[in-house]
Amino acid sequence: MFGVAGKILRVDLTDRKITVDEPEEEFYRMYLGGAGIVSYYLLKEVPQGIDALSPENKFIYALGPMGGLAMPGATRACVGAKSPLTGGYSKSEVGGFVPMEIKKAGYDAIIVEGKADSPVYLLITDDGVDIKDASHLWGKTVMDAHDTIEEETGIRNIRTAAIGSGGENMVRYACVINDLKDAAGRGGLGAVMGSKNLKAIAARGRRGMPKSADPKKIRELTLTMNQGFMEVPLFNPSMSEVGTGEHSMMISGNEVGNMPSYNFGKNDFPATEAITATATMEVYGTGMEGCAACAIRCKKTVEINEPWNVDKRNGGPEYEALGSLGSTCGVDDLAAVIKANELANLYSLDSISLGVTIAFGMECFENEILTLEDTGGIDLRFGNAEALIQTIEAIAKREGIGATLAEGTKRAAEIIGQGAEEFAMQVKGLELPMHDPRVKQGLGIIYSMEAAGADHCAGLHDTAATQWGAGFEHMKGMGLTVPLPADDLSMDKVANQRAAHTNNLFKDSAIACSFVPWTFSQLIEIISAATGWSYTGHEAQQLGQRIATLGRIFNLREGIDATRDELPKRFFNGTETGGLVGGGIDKAKMDEAIHNMYAMMGWDEQTGIPTKVKLAELGISWAAEELPQPVA
């Protein structure tokens, strides 16, 4: 086979047993890699009804045929498990250098099962795979653990995917941190690592990448992107200057109500200018870095000495963190926001869920549902930068109010009661990212029906596609129809979102970075050149539908049905000030759009249950056995 190693590493931590699966080529063509591999194994092998933090859960780290190729946006992985936050399907994509090292060591994916009787880490090299003692690493930050692993193995520039105290203490939105600063952020995958006593995966491969069927074509496409990405209409040059969250983007977002602030209650944040990525780089920036073999270099690094000490090795905040830890909490102290982001990386906490959960706590405090006695003396008011930092420490350690907030907004609201549910900004338990569905209403459809919950990477951002422009011509190849207003919820908008959703899932299997402006047709060329298959756009769209459908079935099996496909009530009303005054979503239209999405996906229009006909079309008739009830 070309383009893939043909080997999936399986590690049973309970028995300390290491084996290797060797799937047939047809498996790779059907599921490709990344999200496809994650979705297949989660539904096939995770028993129904298990606790996500039990040894029966599986932790999957999967690459694709692009994974590790020396080309922009290719060194990525998809990480998946049953989510301890939502109780359902969960996956998250991450870049850095770790995926390339795993691929060069000879593996397409890693499946971790069981639970070690004491802390361990996996060491993957050309010499084999070892389960190493990590008792001395438990309690260390991600950075300190990485440095200790590098020192004791003697392997210079070893790469790690690790957890800090957030993962160890099974904070339900703990994440996995690649290379100190790149997060597989959503769904609590770091908590699954913690539940297995798995501190890190450390990798250094030298065998080389699997051979590509057409290396000349790969080199040609790589050269084209490396030399010309700045000229691609879809690419924003500021990505290489400040990363996500540049000044004009955040300022204009605030003007239209798309700068979440005060727990999505106001979305009118006068101090937005103080916390942009542009301000971050002007005041504290030290440079821009990138993932392996990527010329775009979209990752900012920052350094602060006073009043907060921040090490530049831990990266800098991207847009999601600037919003979640800044405006959503009403905090305009840029240094505090940067420190909060560093703590999220050191402790392995999803910055989105972290910020939105703290904002939830702040709104509860402002409404006197929580008191100083409840918070252990933390003055948990909007805008209190010191309280932001104190609460992050408490969450990572599960101390005091942190123990409650470590459960995520849905569970925390159930624990607190007294109407706190109204302040929980989540779908299926996953906190909303920094894109308001009142502004991007088509994305609201995706938030509602996506198997993982509110995921901003799973659909089309409406504001970017209100007109075609040269940068969007290629999207017609994905099945998109016409440009539409951002607040449109017509059948055409649903069709656009279905096409974008399935395309994004294809990219998550390839696995390709969304920040690199590869066109749909170029990605098809890359897959064909890497594997030697005559891969087609139709196959790519079928793959996207296959993954969405497997995730849907996983959730249905776990009791997460159509009644959970709903946005928080707050989004059906406008805000008191700012760009969203009178700007709530029409609930009847959103409900209709969600049901139309079901129909376009080949699922029952009312229940969202995939039909047998659709399962057969997608080549996954076996999945019907996992449904909780017969399908039509």
The CA-based angle 229-231-233, given to 5 degrees, is 100
**Are 354 and 457 in a shared domain?**
no
Same domain for 302 and 323? yes
According to DSSP, the residues that pair with 159 across neighbouring strands are 203
pLDDT at position 542, please? Answer: 97
Going from the C-alpha of 127 to that of each of 19, 123, 147, the distances in angstroms are: 15, 10, 21
Q: Kindly report the three-state secondary structure assignment for every residue of 197-215.
A: CEEEEEEECCCCCCCCCCH
Q: Which pLDDT does position 576 carry in this prediction?
A: 85
Same-domain check for residues 454 and 583 = yes
Residue 632 lies in a domain: no
Closest CA to 56 of 119, 122, 113: 113
Same domain flag for 268 and 338: yes
d(CA 315, CA 179): 10
CA distance 321 to 544: 28
Q: Any idea what the CATH number is for the domain that residue 405 is in? A: 1.10.569.10
**For residue 475, what pLDDT is reported?**
75
Tell me, yes or no, whether 185 and 242 share the same domain.
no
What is the model's pLDDT at position 631? 52
Task: Give the residue ranges of the chain where pLDDT is below 70.
Answer: 468-471, 629-632
CA-CA distance, 530 to 510, in Å (whole number)? 11
The domain containing residue 539 runs over which residues? Answer: 441-626
φ/ψ of residue 190, rounded to 5: -70, -30
Tell me if 381 is assigned to some domain. yes
**Of residues 360, 414, 272, 365, the one with CA closest to residue 570:** 360
**By three-state DSSP, how is residue 599 classified?**
helix
Is 143 buried (19+), middle (13-18) or exposed (0-12) by CB count in 10 A? buried
Domain membership of residue 607 (yes or no) is yes
Q: What's the one-letter identity of residue 127? A: D
User: 422 and 530 share a domain?
Assistant: no
| Separation between Cα atoms, residue 38 and residue 63, nearest integer Å | 10
Same domain, 449 and 410: no
Q: 422 and 450 in one domain?
A: no
Q: Are residues 516 and 616 both part of a single domain?
A: yes
Is 222 contained in some domain? no
In a domain, 220, yes or no: no
Residue 289 lies in a domain: yes
pLDDT at 477: 76
Domain C-terminal end among 152, 178, 204: 204
The predicted structure's pLDDT at residue 332: 98
Indicate if 407 and 479 belong to the same structural domain.
no
Distance between CA atoms of 301 and 297, rounded to whole angstroms? 11
Q: Are 352 and 494 within one domain? A: no
Residue 423 counted as domain residue:
yes
Position 45 in a domain: yes
Does 78 share its domain with 192? yes
**Under a CB-based contact definition with an 8 Å cutoff, are residues 302 and 338 in contact?**
yes
Bridge partners for 17 per DSSP: 12
How many domains does the chain fold into? 3
State both tokens at 627: 């449904």
CATH label of the domain that carries residue 469:
1.10.599.10
Contact by Cβ (8 Å): 348, 177: yes
Neighbours of 207 (CB within 10 A): 12
Q: Can you give the pLDDT at residue 469?
A: 67
| Cα gap 433→567, rounded to integer Å | 12
